[in-house]
Amino acid sequence: MTRQPAVTCQDSVLTPDWLGAKLFCYAERCPEHGKPPVTGQEQRYRLHGVERALDTLELLAVAGPDGMTLTELTEKIAVSKSSAFALLQTLIARGFVADSGARLTRRYRLGMTLAMLGDAAEAQSPLISVAMPAMQSVTDATGLTTRLVIPDGPFAIVTARVDAPGTVRFASYLGQREYPHCTSAGKALLTALPPERARALAMEAGMPARTERTITDPAALLRDLELSAVRGYAIDDEEDADGVFCVGAPVYDRTGGCVAAISGTGLKLNRPTWRMDELGIAIRDAADQITRDLGGPSFAARAGLG
C-alpha cells in the first residue's frame, strides 16, 4: 500500500480507499479539521493515553510497508519525542508495533499481534451469526424471504434463510447450489469480480434457460452485471422461476473481498420495476450493515461516494 498524498492540514492523514477515504486529524487542537465533538459525559470515561496509542496504530496502518519514523509520528500525534518513544516501546513490548533499523534510520510499523487479534475477532463474528439479525430485520420490513449465500467454485451455496411470514414457502434448502447467471445472489457475487472472471465462472457453471426470461448469452449477462454493480444490487426478474422475483447484494469483509451475498425473494404478481428497485435498495442496505459488522467497505465507499 502506498502512502496517500499530503493534505492541507499537516496533522491530518488521508486513509486508503479500503478505509473509505476519510480524513483523520490527530492534532489535539487543529483549527482546520479539529476532532469529533466529545460530550462531557463521554470525555469523563476516555483515557487520553489510550487514544494516543490508538491514533499511533491508525497512523501506522495508513503509512504502509515502509512505516514511519519517530519524528513523523511525533509530528502527527502532537507529543514530545520522549513521550512518543515511550509509547512506541510499550506497543513494541506487547507486539502491537514492530521496528527495524537503528537510531536515525529506525522505522516503525504494525506488529503481528494485531493480525492475531484480527483473526480472533473474525472467529468471534462468524458470517451467519453476523448476518442473521440484518436478514431478519429486512424480512420484517419488506415481507421478503431472505437468504445468505457463499461462493463455491462457480456456484452460490445457500447457508442461511429467514422465511417471510405467511403460507408461501420458496423451495430453497440449506446447502443448495444455485446457478450464478439467473439468481440475484449469484449475480451479486459475480458483480464483485472482473468481467472476464465473472464470464468464465458463469460459463463453467453452465447457463441453462430456467425460464423464458433467463439470460443465456454471456455478453448480455456482463451488461446486466455492469448495471447491477453500479446500483449495488442485482435483480432476478422471473429468470430462475416463473412468477418469482429476487433481489440480491454482495457482502464484503475486512479484507475488502466479497465473501457472501444476501437476497430477498417474493412473488412477482404485478410488482412494477420501481417497486423491485425499492426492495433492491433495502437488500443493499442490509448487505451494507453486514459488511460494516465484518469490517468491510460499504457500497458508497466501493463506489467512491463516501
Whether residue 64 sits in one domain with residue 170: no
Q: What is the mean pLDDT of the chain?
A: 84
Q: When comparing pLDDT for 278 and 11, which is higher?
A: 278
Considering the domain boundaries, does residue 6 fall inside one?
Answer: no
For residue 69, is it within any domain? yes
Residue whose cell numbers read 455478453: 219
pLDDT of 271 > 70? The answer is yes
Listed residues 120, 141, 164: the one ending a domain: 120
Please state, as a whole number, how many other Cβ atoms lie within 10 Å of the Cβ of residue 150: 19
Q: What's residue 220's pLDDT?
A: 98
Provide the domain limits for residue 222: 125-302
Whether residue 248 sits in one domain with residue 272: yes
Number of domains in the chain: 2
Per the structure block, which three cell numbers stand in for 90?
Answer: 510499550
Q: What Å distances lie between residue 34 and 26, 71, 75, 131, 195, CA to CA?
A: 8, 22, 15, 35, 42
Lowest mean pLDDT among 30-39, 151-160, 260-269: 30-39
Straight-line distance from the first to the last Cα atom of the chain, in angstroms, rounded to the nearest whole number: 20
Q: Determine, yes or no, domain membership for 7.
A: no
Looking at residue 14, its pLDDT comes to 36
What's the confidence (pLDDT) of residue 306?
A: 59
- Out of 70, 103, 120, pick the residue that ends a domain: 120
Distances (CA, A) of 97 to 84, 186, 244: 13, 41, 53
